[in-house]
A and B are shown apart, each in its own frame.
Chain A
């Protein structure tokens, strides 16, 4: 009870945040439905909460984006900025080429992280997300590629060898197939594991119940 008013009154330090935190707090049910397109400028989200004034995801148009657009044209689907972090979305088929370019020409020589996100309501449900860092520029860049279920994503293990294990983990957890990966097998889970745990439709309780039934022949206590 006491929590609710408390949350709305305090104004977070940076100025831009003030209106954003309160509308997010008022309609608790809707944002979940509106969230999947969060990577795009959230226009469908805007009409749902009545206030929704602050646009946190703004289009990005700096020199780097200009160069990538000049080189790859429409393969650069979108360039936005979220909380001052640059995000490029590229066409899935061009991911390896864009990566090669970013490493060689733009000096993003460290692949900090490669992971995936599942948006089951979207037509292409997965985002493959690369977090890059450039020593020369001291800059970070996030590159995303959207992939449908079963669609092959070009592996970037040839560009950054780090991607080897990271792509195996993404395959292990999401079932995303990376074309051209040297050894695409499960890495954290046992080889005989069924399903891909980090997909949103992977139910933990159901998994537990069926495992107990199968392996111990009893009903799960959960």
Chain B
């Protein structure tokens, strides 16, 4: 984004005191950057007049690895991208390969996938809320959020033995049958969760410090959000009602009723409200889903050696952070010819410069938090 700074008319204006502008380096080991993001800030006093994100510290060459693994072998790698929403990553990958193979997961598998993915969305949003509030100075929500997130991770652990990098799904369906008390666990979590969202909102929504730190900060207008390719809650908070779960339903989302929350101004406060409401909606989807889990097989008939017919497919899902897309090309062999991952965090982060300009250094922390980036996914 470096040259954007030269073309922007705001750069040409004089600094306030006629002093030289200051370049401040933030990160990569800064606690508020949620990993290893480095931001070069161009400052006039305490005001940001330009910024450049330096990324790639966590680059592992995931796309290159994919070309040297079979389709099944690569599945666990995608969990390591957005490692706080591994279930969503796995869902996107498995569905993309299923499309390439032209098979469909059985209904039972689809519903269980939907339940786990929505729980993962809640878990991801809880982590975001806790750390975002912590960055801005509210310590309490972090402990509450982690308490609830723990319950979700326990459900994952009971289901597949892992808490974070779960590898919960397989190409063609599920490997594990739902454990006996899955419905009961999900239900009791959902019952307990509702008053707790209210607790978080009591702490923050009308909190004057919270309002002061988030209202009007990092505004992203709808047309800018679309031009910058922002997706997920960032786009919706700008007022664009677009959710892939509704627009192009996948898994079992077409069976459930839920709302898409949207914001109006596209500031940090709106993104907060949108994500809070999304947690409520995810909870409702979970409750609807456990009511009627179809019986039947959990795995479609796919071979143990997968050789998709030559061709290509682009499949995207609504991950907690936005549009997570997989563009996979098969040449008919057991290894993918090319796997391209469209990471929501990477594209959303590009809007950072636009959002940060004109704000104070302290707001930069709020803006990084509100973008909800995971560097494992930005750098891949």
Contacts and interface: CB of A to CB of B under 8 A. Distances in A.
Given A162-B227, A162-B229, A188-B55, A142 B314 contact: yes
B332 interface: yes
A13 B1 contact: no
B255 to A, nearest CB: 18
Contacts of A129: 327, 340
Interface in A100-126: 109-113, 115, 117-118
Interface string B78-112: 00000000000000000000011111100000000
A182 B4 contact: yes
Contacts of B309: 17, 20-21, 24, 54, 56
A93 interface: no
A185 B2 CA distance: 10
B65 to A, nearest CB: 9
B226 interface: yes
A6 B313 CA distance: 25
Contact of B329 (A3, A32, A117): A117
* Residue from B7, B302, B312 with most neighbouring chain A CB atoms (10 Å): B312
Contact of B242 (A7, A135, A197): A135
Contact of B304 (A6, A11, A142): A6
A2 B61 CA distance: 34
A3 to B, nearest CB: 4
B171 to A, nearest CB: 12
B158 interface: no
A218 interface: no
A142 B316 CA distance: 13
B312 A6 contact: no
A201 to B, nearest CB: 12
A139 to B, nearest CB: 9
A164 B300 contact: no
A45 interface: yes
A85 interface: yes
Contact of B314 (A85, A111, A190): A85
A25 B103 contact: no
Given A24-B310, A28-B333, A83-B99, A113 B350 contact: no
Interface residues of B, number: 59
B311 A38 contact: yes
A79 B142 CA distance: 52
Contacts of B292: none
Q: Which of B229, B332, B334 has the most CB of A within 10 A?
A: B332
Interface string B229-244: 1010000000010100
B226 A109 contact: yes
B333 A111 contact: no
A204 B64 contact: yes
Given A56-B310, A165-B346, A165-B347, A38 B248 contact: no
Interface in B33-67: 55-56, 59, 61, 63-64
A162 B347 contact: yes
A3 B304 contact: yes
A68 interface: no
B305 interface: yes
A110 B333 contact: no
Contacts of B100: 83
Given A32-B333, A112-B323, A183-B1, A140 B310 contact: no
Given A83-B311, A198-B64, A12 B325 contact: no
Count chain B CB atoms within 10 A of each CB in A85, A110, A182 and give the residue with the most: A110
Contact of B342 (A21, A39, A113): A113
A204 B311 CA distance: 26
B325 A112 contact: yes
A179 interface: no
A188 B227 contact: no
A88 B166 CA distance: 37
Given A3-B304, A85-B313, A160-B227, 10 more contacts: A7-B303, A7-B304, A13-B102, A82-B312, A117-B340, A138-B248, A182-B4, A183-B4, A188-B380, A190-B56
23 contacts: A3-B304, A13-B103, A21-B303, A21-B309, A24-B308, A24-B310, A38-B310, A38-B329, A56-B309, A57-B311, A82-B311, A83-B100, A83-B312, A110-B231, A112-B325, A113-B325, A113-B327, A135-B226, A164-B4, A165-B346, A183-B2, A188-B380, A189-B59
Interface of B: 1-4, 7, 55-56, 59, 61, 63-64, 68, 99-104, 226-229, 231, 240, 242, 247-248, 300-305, 307-314, 316, 323, 325, 327, 329, 331-334, 337-338, 340, 342, 346-347, 350, 379-380
